[in-house]
Amino acid sequence: MVSISKTFLPLNTQGGNNQMPVIGFGTYTISDEKIILNVLDVALGAGYRLIDTAAVYNNEQYIKEALKVLLPKYHLKREDLFITSKLAPKDHGDEKQVTAAVQRSLDNLGTSYLDLYLIHWPGAGRIDAKSPENSKLRNLTWKTLMKLHDNGNGSLKNIGVSNYTVKHIKEMLADPTNIVPAVNQS
C-alpha cells in the first residue's frame, strides 16, 4: 500500500518547494470550527499532508486553531504540511489589496508562508465576466503574486491559478515577464 503522505507530484515552479502531495484534503463547504477540527483530525491521522482552503471558504481561522491542537498530536510541524489557499475574486487587481488579502490568509492560517497560493477565479468580483477589465486585473494580480513569491523566497512558495481556461493561460503567458503558474487547479 502506498502512503499518501509520501507520494508527490512535481510542480511547474521557479524556486520554492517543487513537490506537492498527490492527494489533498479539501475544506470547501466546511465552515464550522468543530467540524474542521474533527475532519482534519481524521485526515491527518489517515496520512493527508495537503490542506486546501480559500479565503471565500471562511474557514482559514478554524484551520489555524485545529492545527494548534493536531500538529502536536501527530508529532508534526508546519513544514510537514502543504497548505494551499486562494485569492478571493473581490481582491483582484490593486497591489495593496492583493498583498493585504495574502496577509489576511497568512494571519488567519497562523503561518508565515503558504506552500501554494492561487488566483481562485479568472474574473474579478463585481465585474461582468466579458469585461476587458478582467484581463487587466488578472495581470496586475499575477504581477503582485510574483513579487510575493520572489522566486520561492517569499511568503508564497508557489503560485498558480484555479478555474483558468486555455485562453486565460495564453493571455497570461503572452507577457514574457510573467512566470508560468505552478498549477491550474480545477
- The residues near 175 (Cβ < 8 Å, ≥ 6 apart) are 139
Active-site option among 57, 113, 117, 164: 57
Q: What is the DSSP string of 45-106?
A: HHT--EEE--GGGT-HHHHHHHHHHHHHHTT--GGG-EEEEEE-GGG-S-HHHHHHHHHHHH
H or E element in which residue 173 lies: helix 166-173
Paired strand residues for 94:
none
Unique residue bearing C-alpha cell 508534526: 76
Helix (H) or strand (E) holding 60: helix 60-73
Q: Are 157 and 151 in contact (CB under 8 A)?
A: no
Q: 28 an active-site residue? A: no
Contact 157, 182 (CB under 8 A): no
**156 within 8 A of 145, measured Cβ to Cβ:** yes
Residues catalogued as catalytic: 57
